[in-house]
Amino acid sequence: MKKILAAALLAFSAAAFAAPYPQQNMQSVITPERFSGAAADKIYNDLAAHAGEYPVRFDNAADQKRAARDAAELLRISRSLIETDIIKPGDEAYIPMLHRTAQTAWIAHNLDVEGAAQIADGYYRKLLSAQPKAQRAQTLGEYGGFLAASAQTDAALRVLRQAVDGGNGAARKPLAIVLLTKGQKEQALREIRAYVKQYPRDEQAKHMLEAAQAGRVEVKGAPMAR
């Protein structure tokens, strides 16, 4: 999803064409009587389609600015459901809402919403604390990707290695990219080779492996997340 890995990810990605970002009805998400998960999911999915990865994809600056407002508002609503104990530990919706709040904050971070990176970090930590052990490797992979995207590469390395050690083979791909940003080419090659062996249909990973082997990968630093 952002910044420190953007140069690397762009090198391995096909060009993406933006579709118009739709108008959202934020009032449909929550009323004094109820919270509409379906309405929240619709807005989240629209945001994710345009800003779930970095760089974000919008037709114009006005749409991007509107999406940033929508992401900030959806994040505010999600946090309020947890922080006012409307959804609380032990509820069936608690762990899924922690996860969605972390993901929404990551999207908001991609859209330069102030403070969103810190919120995402906090909610990923809460999620990991609340999850059953069997689910944590998957979350560690996602959390490690977020840490890398927000320029926390040392923490990302630690978390992504925990994900791989826990059985999340997919985490080898972002781990390899982080290793490349740190100039650890041989370790990166080892991880991406193992990833390609496990996921042979991932053409982007194959291209990444070829580029790394040929020395065609240059990863540039980027500003820290706000």
Query: pLDDT for 156-206, tens place per residue?
Result: 999 999 999 999 999 999 999 999 999 999 999 999 999 999 999 999 999
C-alpha to C-alpha distance for 198 and 181, rounded to whole angstroms: 23
Is residue 139 assigned to a domain?
yes
* End-of-domain residue from the set 131, 150, 182: 131
Is 125 in the same domain as 187?
no
Four-point Cα dihedral 217, 145, 79, 133, nearest 10: 180
In this prediction, residue 218 has a pLDDT band, given cuts at 50, 70 and 90, of low
Is residue 205 assigned to a domain?
yes
For residue 29, how far is the Cα from the chain centroid? 23
Is 187 in the same domain as 201?
yes
C-alpha to C-alpha distance for 83 and 222, rounded to whole angstroms: 33
pTM tops 0.85, yes or no: yes
DSSP SS3 for 30: strand
Positive or negative: CA dihedral 98, 104, 110, 113: negative
Is 85 in the same domain as 50?
yes
* Predicted pLDDT at 102: 99
Is 95 in the same domain as 141?
no
Share the mean pLDDT of the chain.
Answer: 90
Looking up residue 178, the CATH number of its domain turns out to be: 1.25.40.10
Q: Are the C-beta atoms of 1 and 54 separated by less than 8 Å?
A: yes
Q: What is the amino acid identity at position 49?
A: A
* Predicted pLDDT at 226: 29
Is residue 147 assigned to a domain?
yes
In this prediction, residue 31 has a pLDDT band, given cuts at 50, 70 and 90, of confident
DSSP SS3 for 145: helix
* Predicted pLDDT at 33: 81
Q: Write out the residue range of the structural domain in which residue 170 sits.
A: 134-219
Count of CB atoms within 10 A of residue 221's CB?
11
Q: Crossing angle, helix 61-83 and helix 116-130, to 10 degrees?
A: 40
Is residue 97 assigned to a domain?
yes
* End-of-domain residue from the set 102, 131, 160: 131
Per-residue pLDDT tens for 111-158?
Answer: 999 999 999 999 999 999 999 999 999 999 999 999 999 989 999 999
